[in-house]
Amino acid sequence: MHWLKLYTEIVNDPKIQLLAPSDRWHYVVILCAKADGLFDYDAHLRLKMLEVQLRLTTEEMTALYDRLRGVMLINEDWSPAGWDKRQVVNDPTGKLRKRAQREREKNKEKDIDIDIESHETVTGQKRDKCDIKDFEEAWAKWPRKVGKAAARKVYLKLLKETHPLILADINRRTKNKEWPEDKQYIPHFATHLNREGWEDEPDSPIQTAGENYV
């Protein structure tokens, strides 16, 4: 059985929201077909197999193609746009993911001298946390000014070493114009912090709102 990454932001992606509910499901089917290796077949056979999986006629396929291409969710060959940026390449059965998970668990076992909740080592050495000045600096840069109290509560629990990483992430997103034009699609700062969004892989600069969340 193959697997794929489906990012939670897909529910707020304006590209997805522009589609009818049935087309949103059609898009998920295309993602699954890509993960299953359907796009490795020649173009003619691939299209026929895709018709079967989507349960659409040739005419309906043509109309669906135009709609998905219109919101930049698929490439000319029907393959999902942005696939390589979001998926683990050449890892259809998840071997690389499982290996990475084992490495994380192994490193976690080695790091037994750290108390994560108190940010203190067994020897009593404190690990500095972010302060209010750090938060205000980051808040000033975040483009959507909603939920400040919740964001401050999360920020003050973060380790000091994450502060420059968060600033660099916000500056990169601003420079590359990665923010949706409609600010309602920008997550609350607290949400971004809770999911450690500063560790996301950089996307290419975009000209339209929304991203490919696959």
How is residue 155 written in tokens?
């920020």
Residue 116 has pLDDT above 50, yes or no: no
More confident residue, 121 or 98: 98
pLDDT of the residue at 24: 93
Residue 114 forms beta bridges with which residues?
121
Q: Which residue has the tokens 């973060």?
A: 158
pLDDT of the residue at 78: 93
pLDDT of the residue at 209: 45
Residue range 158-185, pLDDT digits in tens: 999 999 999 999 999 999 888 888 888 8
pLDDT classification of 5: cutoffs 50, 70, 90? confident
More confident residue, 119 or 152: 152
| Alpha carbons 50 and 19: distance in angstroms, whole number | 19
pLDDT of the residue at 4: 80
Residue range 136-163, pLDDT digits in tens: 999 999 999 999 999 999 999 999 999 9
Helices marked H in the chain = 14-17, 21-35, 43-54, 58-70, 83-86, 95-110, 132-141, 148-155, 163-175, 189-194
Residue range 93-110, pLDDT digits in tens: 556 667 767 777 776 655
Domain boundaries, the chain: 8-86, 117-199
pLDDT of the residue at 90: 54
| Alpha carbons 44 and 50: distance in angstroms, whole number | 10
pLDDT classification of 208: cutoffs 50, 70, 90? very low
